[in-house]
Each structure stands twice: as C-alpha cells, then as structure tokens.
Structure 1
Amino acid sequence: MITRAQYSTVAVVPELAAGMAAQLLLLAGLGGFIGLGPAGWLTGTAFALVLGVLLASAMHRSRSCALGPADLVTFARAVLVGGVAALVIDRFGTAQPGPVFVALASVALALDAVDGRVARRTGTVSARGARFDMEVDAFLILMLSVQVALAHGWWVFAIGAMRYVFAAAAWALPWLRAALPASVARKTVAALQGIVLVVAGSGLLPDAAAVAVTAGALAALAWSFGRDIGWLWRRQSQSRRLNNAYNAPAMSRIATVDVMKPDH
C-alpha cells in the first residue's frame, strides 16, 4: 500500500520527467541552432537533474500530489534558466552572449511576473511555490552576473552572489532567518537586477553606460540587503531586551530569597 507521502513523490514523477525532457529538447535545439559543446550539455543536464531532485524532495516534505499551475510556469521558467546556464558555461570567456542568450533570459524574466499572478488567481499560493520561484530567480541572476562580469569585471559577480552569501550567513546567525515584512522596494530592486544584467550584457549599451547601470543596480541591491539586515538586527535586539525584561523580576526574586536565607 502506498502512503500519502510516497504517493506525493510517485505522482510528480511524470511532471519531473516532462521537465527533464523539455530541458534536453532545449539543449538539443541550442546545439542544432548555435552549437553547444560538452560543457554546455553537461551544465544543462546537471541543472535539470539537481532541479528534479530538489523539487521531488520539496514535494515529498510538503506531501503534495502534483505541481500547481503556478509551479508549472515556474518549472517552464527553470528550463529556460537551464538553457541560460548552459550557454554561460559553454561560452565562458566570451564577452558577447548573443541574441539567443538574451532571448532566453528575457523570456525567463518576463515569466517571473506570471507565476505569482497565476498562483493568486488560482488560489494555489504556497510557501513551497514561493521558495521554488525565489531559487529559480536567484540562479538566473547568478548566471547573468557571471556573463556580465566577463565583460565588465568580476565585481559584477557580487550581484549574483549576494543572496547566497546572505543564505550562508543565516546558517551561522539564526536571527537572519526571521521572516521579513513585505516590501515593494525589495521586490522592485530584485526585479531590476535581471533587467539591468540582460541589458548590460546584450551589447546594446556603450561600455561606460553598461558599467554605470550595473554599478547602480549593485548599489541598490546592497542598500536593499543592508536595510533588511538592519531590520532583522533591530528585531533580534528588541526580542532580546523583552526577554531580559521578562526574566529580570524572577531573577531579582531569586536573588532576594538567596540573601534572606539564614547561614548554616
């Protein structure tokens, strides 16, 4: 007899297999249209495998039986991101990414505005879906920052690495894991990163302009992360003060009793 937890993993296998097939078809299309070497094939295939394993694990933990409509949009976007990653690694060292790279990245960015809307309209908003969307976004920004860094300097890589550095710091500092309040500014800054990186890496702007807009995007991202870290620090400090204030009377009473004890 298949338990509910086991069924959730079994049920999603066809969807994961379809995603893997779509990734391989995209890689084959890239190989036939512009040429894709072993590094690109390996990168795209590895991305699809890791994505499938992580998604299956998340489905198992949440006891979900299928991907929702918004998840399928995010999954389609992830396939495009796999193509972007394959091109970045395959063309590593090439300053100009080419129109196919720009097209894939642009469609992936455009679909980022679709999955959230689909989730809200269908009533399928979930923490797992939000995390899935966030991880796909983060990896796309990482790949775009690598590509732009090849042309304008490795300081650009900080845009893609910042989120992962923050996540690593959160393992050592638990107070960084607290939930942040919703922020339009945070969402706007995050959305601008991908747009700026695609434009800067497309070769449509003069080098000086590309560097300027990328530096502006990095500054905005640093401000956004700094603001959030400051909020989390103040929240942690406030919680600590409240805990100390709550425990202080009890500690004072204990100290008073100890003082009043007769000597033996």
Structure 2
Amino acid sequence: MLAAERRDHLLGLLAREGKIVAKDVAARLGISEDSVRRDLRDLAAEGLCQRVYGGALPVSPAVAGYAARQSVAPDGKQKVARVAAGLTAAGCTLILDGGTTALAVARALPRDLDCTVITHSPTIAAALLEHPRAELFLLGGRIFKHSAVTCGTAAVEAAQNVSADLCLLGVTGVHPEAGLTTGDAEEAAMKRALAARAADTWILASSEKIGTASRFRVLPFEKITGLITDAAPHDPAVEALTALGVEVLTAD
C-alpha cells in the first residue's frame, strides 16, 4: 500500500471509529508499527489528528484562533449557552471561563440577574458591563491571546483566592478515553484552578468538540458535575460518556 493510500485509510478509520490503534492497523495492513506512527506524525503535523499513546484521536476544530472560532458552530454554542445560563440563580456566584461558548453564555444571562461573576476573560467582563446587577471580578495575569483569557502564575494564584457556587468551563475536546482537553498547558492549569474553587463545575461543549481531543488534559470526568452539549444523545461518544457515569444535559 502506497503512503497516500495509507493516509486515506487512516483518515477514513478515524472518521468511522473515532480512534486509531497503531498496532491493530499495522497488523491489518501487514506493515510495521513504525510506519503507522510515521504516518500519524505526518497527519498530526497537518492538524488532521491528535496523536496519543498507542495511536491517534480526532483533532478538535476548536484549536483555531479566537476570531476564527467565533464562526465555528455558532448555533450549537448558543444552544449550550441557553442551558448553561439556566443553571444560574439570583444571588449566585459564578465563575465563567473564557472562549467563544462562554461568551455566548454571558450574552444569554438575564440582563437583570443579581449575581457575582468571576472571570479571567476581559471579553467576558466587557460583555457583562451592561448587566447592571452583576458584580464583576476580573482575575489578572498574562493574556493568552488565543482564547482572550489570563493565565500563568499570577492568574492561578488569583483564582485560588475566590469561591463560587458554579463554574462554567470550556474545553476544546471531550473524548471518553482522552478526557477533557485543551490545546495549551497553562490554560489547562488555569481551568483546573477555576474548577477547584466552585461547588459545581459544568463543561460547555458544543457538538464539534465531542469525540475529539487536544494535547493537554484539563480534568478527569469524576471532577466535574456534568457536561452540556448539543450533540445528539445517540452520538457514540455521548453514549460512551453516559456509560462512564457522566451526567449529560442535552441542549436542543
């Protein structure tokens, strides 16, 4: 089998099965695992898969830049945002992550909601300036422009000094095997710090993120309250998550 044919085979397998196990592919094709791993390295370099130990997973489209992500699945993000906004209540303290789905949540919050919002995103804070009864706390630190959020040591230390009823957290990938992931190590650390300060943490994940993975793990599933997604309940990845005991709220 030519290299181009192997590449097409691997991409087709990834689309059908949602993962590639290098040793299984090598056995089926009668080639070495090294050849499969080289192919996967090439595909990963082109952004077509996310390499993991033993093989590869579908790569998340949410690793694109902030401006580009605003045009990715806007309807799905709005559906997720409406459900997430419904989890808030008068008098609550909310930690709201950054990113485009969190921005949709900020816009979906009732204008007269009496609440406290803690965020490390200047974009989120600006979106809530017209909410007269929302008290805003902006956590400072180095700006990570990809997601328009602060991160790094200063931001993590600031996060460790707050407490909240609810944390609404975005990720770039949700996969039954890889877990909850994002594309930057410091951003992953900041998300962990935020989640640790809330009584309940819900993951915001529009359907294009379900069944995909990024480089850095954020949290294990047992550390979250549940997941909000517009992916169909019969989606194989959603069914696998449910089987793992993850509570899934369907946004439709």
Do they superpose with TM above 0.5?
no
Which TM bucket (shorter chain)? under 0.3
Where is the helix percentage greater, Structure 1 or Structure 2?
1
The higher radius of gyration belongs to 1
TM-score (norm 2): 0.25
TM-score (norm 1): 0.24
